[in-house]
Amino acid sequence: MLEIELAGLKLRNPLVLASGILGSYASSLNRIARHAGAVVTKSVGLEFREGYRNPCVLNWRCGIINAVGLASPSAKDFAKELLNFKRGCPLIVSLYGSKPEDFAKLVDYFPIADAFELNLSCPHAKKLGLEVGRDPELVGEIVKIVKASTNKPVFAKLSFHMDIVEIGKVCEEAKADGVVAINTIRGMAIDIVSRKPVLSNVSGGISGEAIKPIALKCVWDLFEELSIPIIGCGGITNWRDVVEFILAGATAVQIGSALFYSRHIFKSLIESLESYLRIYGEDIQSLIGQAHKC
């Protein structure tokens, strides 16, 4: 009832752990892999990256604002850590780099991956993420070089802060197997006592409930123009959100910030989605993009 096929990967349900939420430890991925359809790792680059100093994550009313700054172990160390992944579900390794060759080299470190996600959208890291993803020519080259380096599915993670449909089309033309929409959206908070920005990096990316309608519209727009699968991400906190994203055109969805509020969110979403589908006697796959038919 909940099984889906995503670019050749068979997922037992469409619920995927979003990148970065649980840090860079295999033990956290193993815990979520007991229920999730697939898990995405925290984004990794070739070299160790310290990221920004604290405070770098802020719990805000309608979600989270973070400027972790793509902190990560080196690809070599992360590959070693991932040997502890118990393969409870497909593993998608998220990669970041500034040049096409960086992405190609990264692929070689992760024979353990079932698929790759390209971080072309982190809004708070200089010369990485969004700064790379906003350049259509560079995006095309990155997708092409990664596709030439692996036979595994490659998903490009996009941002609200770009012409998302234009970049989505570039990814499709370069033979990406799917796009992920969206990463966090730029924002900030100011401490009224110290009268300074709260985050050490001044601004960061907003995730959680606040961005859900924005992410949903990005999925909607991409579905109208693209033929490759779309993975919806942004502000999903309950089963109704999941259904909305799928009706808008997502084949699967990623869950991130909601884990900060409920460690059992995957299990409870599965139960609720099964009840919903039982009422209509339908499979989840048949709901994809249905809202466009009205």
What is the binding site for ligand FMN (CB under 6 A)?
18-21, 42-43, 57, 64, 66, 68, 70, 94, 119, 122, 157, 183-184, 207-208, 211, 233-236, 255-258
Own/partner pairs for 73-78, CB < 8 Å, 24+ apart?
Answer: 73/24, 73/44, 73/48, 74/45, 74/46, 74/47, 74/48, 75/44, 75/45, 75/46, 75/47, 75/105, 75/106, 75/109, 75/110, 76/109, 77/48, 78/24, 78/41, 78/44, 78/109
Known catalytic membership, residue 122: yes
Q: Which residue is nearest to ligand FMN (CB)?
A: 20
Least separation in angstroms between CB 256 and ligand FMN: 3
Least separation in angstroms between CB 293 and ligand FMN: 27
Closest by alpha carbon to 266, among 10, 11, 6, 71? 11
Least separation in angstroms between CB 138 and ligand FMN: 17
DSSP string, 118-169: EE---TTSTTSTHHHHT-HHHHHHHHHHHHHH-SS-EEEEE-TTS-HHHHHH
Least separation in angstroms between CB 294 and ligand FMN: 26
Beta carbon nearer to ligand FMN, 178 or 208: 208
Beta carbon nearer to ligand FMN, 13 or 257: 257
Beta carbon nearer to ligand FMN, 11 or 122: 122
Catalytic residue among 89, 122, 171, 218: 122
Beta carbon nearer to ligand FMN, 1 or 77: 77
Q: Which residues are catalytic?
A: 122
